[in-house]
Amino acid sequence: MANATIFDRLKQDHDVHREMFAKMADAKDDADTLKKLFDQFKIEVSAHAAAEEETLYATMLSRPDLRENAQHSVSEHKEIDDYLEELDELKFDGEAWRKKFAEMKKRYLHHIEEEEEEMFPAAAKELTADEEKKLAATFAKRKPAELARAEADS
């Protein structure tokens, strides 16, 4: 992905997240595996969101035509983070946890679909190809740092 744009990198992460949801669905009857997958998901999504906010969203917030989309997505990141905190407070894999997890999954899938179908195309119209590549390179550096931070916090 040497010439990847920020949108390519973010979509690649989204695909990983969708795959993680599928693996969690497959593991629904194996609590130990589900717990490991869910813990990995929390770390991955937290790191993704932080790196995305520090790269693409920071750039979008500085541009009046893109600011509203970025603010909306940042608020959705906060909503997902709130869901993850609520899930941590519930008995893992209990009825309430499963219900809250299903809500979070629905909201997260909506969020990434909205980004890919609406926000990314709008941002792509405003950013140059060079800017998209520079943001991708910055994201590629930030994400591992955010993964390390998220793992340390978990």
Cα(91)–Cα(25) distance, integer angstroms: 18
The whole model's pTM is what? 0.94
Contact assessment for residue 12 and residue 136, using Cβ atoms and an 8 Å cutoff: no
Residue 2: pLDDT band (50, 70, 90) is low
Q: In the chain, where does DSSP find H-type helix? A: 6-26, 31-52, 58-61, 64-89, 95-114, 120-126, 129-153
Give tens-digit pLDDT for 70-128. Answer: 999 999 999 999 999 999 999 999 999 999 999 999 999 999 999 999 999 999 999 99
